[in-house]
Amino acid sequence: MTTATERVRAALDRQPRIALAMLPTPITDAVRFRDALGGPSKCPRILIKRDDLTALGLGGNKARKLEYLVADAARQGATTLITTGAVQSNHARMTAAAACIAGMRCVLVLTATEDEPSVAGNLLLDKVYGAEIRLVPAVDPMFAVGQDEAVVADVVSKEKAAGRSPYVIPVGGSSGVGVLGYVGGTAELVEQLRDMSVAPSRLYFASGSRGTQAGLTLGAKLCVAPYGIYGIAVSAGEPEKIERAKRIANEAAALLDLPERLELGDLVTDQAHIGDGYGIPTAGGLAAIDLLAKTEAILLDPCYTSKAMAALVAHVGAHEIDPQQTVVFLHTGGMPALFTDRFVDAYSARL
């Protein structure tokens, strides 16, 4: 009899895909971190799914999406990858790395709050990977967006005029094709948990443009995952973002030719840990970085994973999770942001 994950893997095998990530990623049992949060009498078992170790361009969750997006671009004969994001976008950095492997040009349209942002972290790596950078002004620090549509259109026009074939990837890789990455990631995780004889109650993760959330939520439904999906928002933008997640998840289900579909009620996002805005470190996030580093030698990033872990820590402290349960934390990467002035200044202020 075919299992749920076998059915999903068979459907994914029919989709174009280029190998970019080192998979499967491991799971760490954060025993010392759990002890620091009160031990088994107060804190659930915490398993960390290490998608920071996907390897592509210093690793992170976007590698899974880019495997399908770059393959789709190649199928269409594209020669240039174009995408958007904040100036310290992990997705932009990993798209630039993927373009190197695929032998394509890469143009990044990046939102910045400064006219001349510091060339550090992800922006430095964008340049190391040879991407062409176009900067646009930020609209609002609470949002990870800028006035980029006209600039993307201009880039597309210029690429075509130069005889090249552009392929535009939405912010965060959040499209029906990109969603396939975390449908596959869910099948991988569910199989690993089954082999460990573990049935967690929740999966925590940082939720930005909602593409990862769409893939995890659709994947959980398709693979009959034992856990509930618990996204922690790192930027504002509801309800538009949740509506986007539903739309692209159902586009992915259609691509896979599977009957399941998501409703808005399937998508849960905790908005309580955004802080002052996208990319701005929070006190809870900085504390989470500190504690996980000192107990497990695992680094979180100040933009995404630290805020998601701060939520998990807060829920443990508020006794919202039964300590007899197990939870999974999806580590989505983002390490280059640790080497930016904003993080260094914020962390130094704690010392």
Q: Which residues are catalytic?
A: 89
| CA 190 distance to own-chain centroid | 18
DSSP category for residue 201: S
Q: Which residue has the tokens 């394509």?
A: 104
DSSP category for residue 146: B
String of DSSP letters for 108-144: EEEEESSSS--S-HHHHHHHHTT-EEEEEEBS-TTSS
- The tokens describing 234, both together, are 């790192």
Residue ranges of E strands in the chain: 27-29, 45-50, 80-86, 105-112, 132-137, 166-169, 202-207, 228-233, 269-270, 326-331
Q: How many CB atoms lie within 10 A of CB 220?
A: 22
Q: How many CB atoms lie within 10 A of CB 144?
A: 26
C-alpha 251/C-alpha 180 separation (Å) is 10
Query: CA 274, 279, 283, 285: dihedral to nearest 10 degrees?
Result: 80
C-alpha 290/C-alpha 11 separation (Å) is 41
C-alpha 110/C-alpha 135 separation (Å) is 5
State the Cα angle at 307 between 304 and 311, rounded to 5°.
Answer: 140
